[in-house]
Amino acid sequence: MSGVILESVDKSFGDAEVIHGVDLQVEDGEFCVFVGPSGCGKSTLLRMIAGLEDVTGGKIFIGGQDVTRTDPADRGIAMVFQTYALYPHMSVEENMGFGLRMNGVPKDEIAVKVREAAEILRLTELLKRKPKALSGGQRQRVAIGRAIVRGPGVFLFDEPLSNLDAELRVEMRVEISRLHQELGATMIYVTHDQVEAMTLADKIVVLRQGEIEQVGKPMQLYRDPGNAFVGGFIGSPSMNFLEGRIDNGNLHIPALADLVVPLQATAPAGIAGVTVGLRPQNLELDRTDSQLTVELSEMLGGVRYDYLKTSTGERLVVESRDADDADEGGSVGVSFDHSAIQLFHPDSGVRIRLSD
Amino acid sequence: MTVSPALFLLPGVLFFAVYVIIPIIQSFYISAFEWNGLGELSEQGEYVGLRNYQELFTDRAFEVSLWNNVKWLVLYLLAIPAGLFIALFLNQTVAGIRIYKSLFFFPFVLSQVVVGLVFSWFYLPREGLLNAIISFFGFEPVNILGDPTLATYGIIAAGLWPQTAYCMILYLTGLNAVDPEQVEAGRLDRAKGWRMLWYVILPQLRPATFIAFVVTIIGALRSFDMISVMTNGGPFGSTRVLSFYMFEKALSEYGFRMGYGSAIAVVLFLIMLVFILYFLWTMVQDERASRN
């Protein structure tokens, strides 16, 4: 079927190398999300799979076929663009049927397929309209419809929701998720929004500067990040990082009044300074203590985020569920389950795993 | 409050009336007279009604001019596809592409008179470059501008040179506005080569095509200077067009028939009016469509 395999794929624009030897396997029927900050190469990687960018080095396989040099139209893929890229002079119907028409499919067959796709996406009423007469969300659905009609093995989405307002984005997110379940096709989805990544993906690929940082299931990346970058990128608000020190099998955290945490297992030898990662969700405000200053409190209804400053000048975010009035400017402490601590190498950011 | 818009419009309206509207009305009026242009029309002119127009029907020279205008109209339109293909060809990023673009645009900067002169040298029967090329391949030399059956085509070919450059610039600007993501979507949809051009690119160039049509048709109908420079209407009046014939009849060295000249001008105006009304109608339609 239609899995996608990348084998040490490189991409350079002139002298600038933007993708460095990416290896990746996307299973058939999987929903894979490329996520990373802007400029990390996620869109370039997607466009290479689509065949819109040449591959400088390495190989791309789709459905077991080497498509590294294959024409985009012959790869069995369909793409949904960020700006939708609908043909403005064609009606919704013509837009959706254009690919089939170019492939020489008979007219009545096109009409049937377009109607089917329109029904899935609730576009039947709009088939005769031009893109100009549609709202952003409707255009988005037409762009998806255009992809569905072609019946591809792999769907490629290039930040498809970034031009929609927040409310519509959530709605379309659910719709894309539903579509994936209905069609069962392989989907590769590019976004810079980690919430989209978490909610949609079977598999998340975190990219930074043209390299894969980590690949895994959403919760796996959340619970067990391989490095500080992934830890900080996945999860909202992002993970807190504090300076720490390992001394005699004990972890010292100067920022929290020189808190000493006895380590249950031994750290690799030769490591003294560490970065301590703590998720805001795992922290709890301790109102009896007073080593931290509350800089700002954000009440979001169900949850509250308190932005704290430590005596060492570092910052901490704490997520709380209680709706107590925020005490901005006041002093508090934090408490947490020590097993929630994750340690990272202070320079490389690589996770330090403790061994028994 | 309501005065200021009118005041802003006033200079334009005034000039348009004095230099365009009133002369058009005058042409209609004068075309009903036999008048040599000397003295006052009301004293020297003789009212003849529609007789000038009747005369046009039997005038061989008028018929030739009218036909030549049709040839100009049809052949001049070749500038549009030619300009499109040069624009497509130049729409790439190569070192020094700006220089090539300006070289292709250059003929449009030249005065029509200069273009006419250069081409008449090019066509010269003995010294001309064209015949040098032709004889190199072993053909008999041709005297294009001296041959009544070829002369008009020779002038139109000269006219196409700057007009193609003009259309090219229009299309180059239009190509800048083509959405690259749509081209990519087209690639995924297997629209390649001609089909990409026809289904994806050309529809997006519609505004440029429209303007190219307008300027080319108007340009073809008002062709005058090149004819005047290259053949002066000859040989045997075979390259005259309506505007040139009107000038000959009414204003040139031997011209003295103001009324007859005006009648020719009126015919030319009516032909233009058909196109102009069509263009205006299209523009209004477009505006309506974009507002809905």
Least confident segment among A268-272, B9-13, B62-66, B83-87? A268-272
| Cβ B115 vs Cβ B226: under 8 Å | yes
Mean pLDDT throughout B210-233? 89
**Chain A residues contacting B, CB < 8 Å?**
50-52, 71-73, 77-79, 81-83, 85-89, 98-99, 102-103, 132-133, 146, 150
Query: How near does any CA of chain B get to the CA of A167, in Å?
Result: 26
Mean pLDDT throughout B266-290? 89
According to the model, what pLDDT value does residue A355 have?
Answer: 67
The shortest CB-CB distance from A99 to any of B182, B190, B206 is to B190
Tens-place pLDDT, residues A318-344: 998 876 666 777 888 888 888 888 889
Beta strand A203-208 with A57-62: parallel, antiparallel or unpaired?
unpaired
Counting residues of chain B whose pLDDT is more than 70, the rounded percentage is: 99
Task: Provide the mean pLDDT of chain B.
Answer: 88
Residue A349 zone, left/alpha/beta (φ > 0; ψ -120 to 50; rest): left
User: Is A89–B189 a contact, with Cβ atoms under 8 angstroms apart?
Assistant: no
Helix (H, G, I), strand (E, B) or coil at A278: strand
pLDDT tops 90 at residue B7: yes
Beta bridge partners of A351: A344
Residues of chain A found within 8 Å of residue B190, distances taken between Cβ atoms: 73, 99, 102-103
According to the model, what pLDDT value does residue B48 have?
Answer: 84
User: Is A89–B188 a contact, with Cβ atoms under 8 angstroms apart?
Assistant: no
The whole-angstrom separation of Cα A84 and Cα B27 is 55
Query: How near does any CA of chain A get to the CA of B48, in Å?
Result: 54
- List all residues 6 or more positions away from A2 whose beta carbon is below 8 Å from its beta carbon: A28, A62, A63, A76, A152, A153, A154, A185, A186
pLDDT tops 80 at residue B43: no
Tens-place pLDDT, residues B225-254: 889 988 888 788 888 899 999 998 888 877
According to the model, what pLDDT value does residue B67 have?
Answer: 92
User: Is A87–B187 a contact, with Cβ atoms under 8 angstroms apart?
Assistant: no
Radius of gyration of the CA atoms of chain B, in A: 23
Q: Which residue is closest to A76 within chain B, CA to CA?
A: B188
User: Is B206–A89 a contact, with Cβ atoms under 8 angstroms apart?
Assistant: yes
Backbone angles phi, psi at A322, to 5 degrees: -80, 150
Q: Which of A119-133, B2-16, B226-240 has the highest mean pLDDT?
A: B2-16
According to the model, what pLDDT value does residue B57 have?
Answer: 87
pLDDT tops 70 at residue A221: yes
Interface test with A, best of B93, B179, B182, B188 (most A CBs within 10 A): B188
Residues of chain B found within 8 Å of residue A99, distances taken between Cβ atoms: 188-190
Query: How near does any CA of chain A get to the CA of B292, in Å?
Result: 8
Q: Which residues belong to CATH 1.10.3720.10 in chain B?
A: 64-179+210-256
Q: Which residue is closest to A78 within chain B, CA to CA?
A: B188
Residues of chain B found within 8 Å of residue A88, distances taken between Cβ atoms: 203-204
Distances (CA, A) of B138 to B123, B124, B125, B133, B146: 17, 17, 15, 9, 21
The whole-angstrom separation of Cα B39 and Cα B18 is 22
Q: Structure tokens of B258?
A: 């103001």
| Cβ A231 vs Cβ A342: under 8 Å | yes
Cis peptide before B180 (omega within 30 of 0): no
According to the model, what pLDDT value does residue A322 have?
Answer: 75
The shortest CB-CB distance from A79 to any of B188, B191, B199 is to B188
The pLDDT-based confidence of A114 (bands split at 50, 70, 90) is very high
User: Is A78–B188 a contact, with Cβ atoms under 8 angstroms apart?
Assistant: yes
Mean pLDDT throughout A138-166? 89
pLDDT tops 90 at residue B124: no
Residue whose C-alpha is closest to residue B265's, from B244, B237, B286? B244
Residue whose C-alpha is closest to residue B202's, from A140, A52, A90, A73? A90
Radius of gyration of the CA atoms of chain A, in A: 24
What is the pTM (predicted TM-score) of this model? 0.80
Tens-place pLDDT, residues A46-93: 999 999 988 998 899 998 889 888 898 888 899 999 888 999 889 999
Query: How near does any CA of chain A get to the CA of B17, in Å?
Result: 39
Least confident segment among A160-164, B5-9, B288-292? B288-292
**How many Cβ atoms from other residues are within 10 Å of residue A213's Cβ?**
21
Assign domain A4-232 to a CATH class: alpha beta
Q: Which residue is closest to B206 within chain A, CA to CA?
A: A89
Residue whose C-alpha is closest to residue A34's, from A157, A206, A178? A206
pLDDT tops 70 at residue A129: yes
- List all residues 6 or more positions away from A145 whose beta carbon is below 8 Å from its beta carbon: A92, A96, A114, A117, A118, A120, A121, A123
| Cβ A171 vs Cβ A138: under 8 Å | no
Residues of chain B found within 8 Å of residue A103, distances taken between Cβ atoms: 190
Q: Where are the domains of chain A?
A: 4-232, 238-352
Query: How near does any CA of chain A get to the CA of B195, in Å?
Result: 8
Helix (H, G, I), strand (E, B) or coil at A120: helix
**Chain A, chain B: beta-carbon pairs less than 8 Å apart:** 59
Tens-place pLDDT, residues A252-267: 888 888 888 888 777 6
Amino acid at A273: G
Residues of chain A found within 8 Å of residue B189, distances taken between Cβ atoms: 73, 98-99, 102, 150
- List all residues 6 or more positions away from A21 whose beta carbon is below 8 Å from its beta carbon: A8, A9, A10, A57, A58, A211
- List all residues 6 or more positions away from A44 whose beta carbon is below 8 Å from its beta carbon: A11, A18, A19, A53, A210
Query: How near does any CA of chain B get to the CA of A180, in Å?
Result: 21
Q: Which residue is closest to B193 within chain A, CA to CA?
A: A102
The shortest CB-CB distance from A52 to any of B187, B189, B292 is to B187
Beta strand A154-158 with A4-13: parallel, antiparallel or unpaired?
unpaired
The pLDDT-based confidence of A356 (bands split at 50, 70, 90) is low
Residue whose C-alpha is closest to residue A33's, from A143, A223, A173? A173
**Chain B residues contacting A, CB < 8 Å?**
179, 181-182, 184-185, 187-192, 195, 199-200, 203-204, 206, 290, 292
Mean pLDDT throughout A308-318? 88
User: Is A102–B184 a contact, with Cβ atoms under 8 angstroms apart?
Assistant: no
Q: Note the Cα B150 to chain centre separation in Å.
A: 19
Task: Provide the mean pLDDT of chain A.
Answer: 88
Fold classification of B64-179+210-256 (topology level): MetI-like fold (1.10.3720)
H or E element: which one contains A208? strand A203-208
The pLDDT-based confidence of B125 (bands split at 50, 70, 90) is confident
Amino acid at B186: G
Residues of chain B found within 8 Å of residue A146, distances taken between Cβ atoms: 185
According to the model, what pLDDT value does residue A349 have?
Answer: 86
User: Is B185–A83 a contact, with Cβ atoms under 8 angstroms apart?
Assistant: no
Query: How near does any CA of chain A get to the CA of B179, in Å?
Result: 8
pLDDT tops 90 at residue A188: yes
User: Is A98–B199 a contact, with Cβ atoms under 8 angstroms apart?
Assistant: yes
Least confident segment among A229-238, A267-276, A334-343, B273-282? A267-276
Helices (H), B45-139: 51-58, 60-76, 79-90, 97-109, 112-123, 129-136
According to the model, what pLDDT value does residue B108 have?
Answer: 87
Mean pLDDT throughout B94-119? 89
| Cβ B244 vs Cβ B252: under 8 Å | no
pLDDT tops 90 at residue B25: yes
According to the model, what pLDDT value does residue A354 have?
Answer: 75
According to the model, what pLDDT value does residue A326 have?
Answer: 60
Helix (H, G, I), strand (E, B) or coil at B81: helix
User: Is A85–B184 a contact, with Cβ atoms under 8 angstroms apart?
Assistant: yes
According to the model, what pLDDT value does residue B269 have?
Answer: 92
According to the model, what pLDDT value does residue A150 have?
Answer: 87
The shortest CB-CB distance from B181 to any of A51, A72, A85 is to A85
Mean pLDDT throughout A262-291? 82
Interface test with A, best of B190, B192, B202 (most A CBs within 10 A): B190
Counting residues of chain B whose pLDDT is more than 90, the rounded percentage is: 38
